[in-house]
Amino acid sequence: MDVNKRNELLEFLVGLRGGKDELESRLKALNAEIDGIEAEIIEDMVARNDGSFNHNGVTCSLKLTERYSPVPETKDKLWAAMKRRKYGDMFSIPANTLSAEVKRLKSDNGDKLPKWLFGLVKVFEQPGLSIKKGNDISKKIRKIRGE
């Protein structure tokens, strides 16, 4: 590759990375805006004691996701217990991995937290929204007809 081509590629790469940084910044702002709006809708649904509602063919339902986190005072004991059971030489467990594994362990234990986890993890529910577009049968019929 000649020097001019390499320099062009470098300039292009710098531009791409700048564009990526702008998109990541915009994504962060959009996620914050989404979180704020979802929080407002959740607050209103809770205040109205309303588990779901429909608007323009979209169903919005309140959902609670059960999450788990280590009890700070017993974090070392939790890591040791998890290592003994599956995690080998891991020195930390990402929050989503911990939640997924505890959820699986709970499911395998008759939907009860295994006794060895008592006092090592705390359970909390994270509210969220499930948003589903309705099945507009007329659109499907038009598609089948080729309209």
pTM recorded for the entire structure:
0.61
36, part of any domain: no
105, part of any domain: yes
Report how far apart, in Å, the C-alpha atoms of 88 and of each of 24, 65, 83, 108, 124 are: 35, 28, 5, 21, 27
Neighbours of 43 (CB within 10 A): 11
77, part of any domain: yes
65, part of any domain: yes
> For residue 102, which of 71, 69, 77 has the smallest C-alpha distance?
69
147, part of any domain: no
20, part of any domain: no
38, part of any domain: no
Domain that holds residue 109: 58-133
DSSP helix/strand/coil, 9: helix
Residue 55: HSE in the Cβ half-sphere, 13 Å Cα cutoff: 5
pLDDT, tens digit (0-9, with 9 covering 90-100), for 11-28: 999 999 999 999 999 999
Q: Please report the pLDDT score of residue 7 as a whole number.
A: 95
Residue 136: phi and psi, rounded to 5, are -85, 95
Mean pLDDT, residues 102-123: 90
Q: Please report the pLDDT score of residue 76 as a whole number.
A: 84
15, part of any domain: no
Which amino acid belongs to residue 11? E
Q: How many domains does the chain have?
A: 1
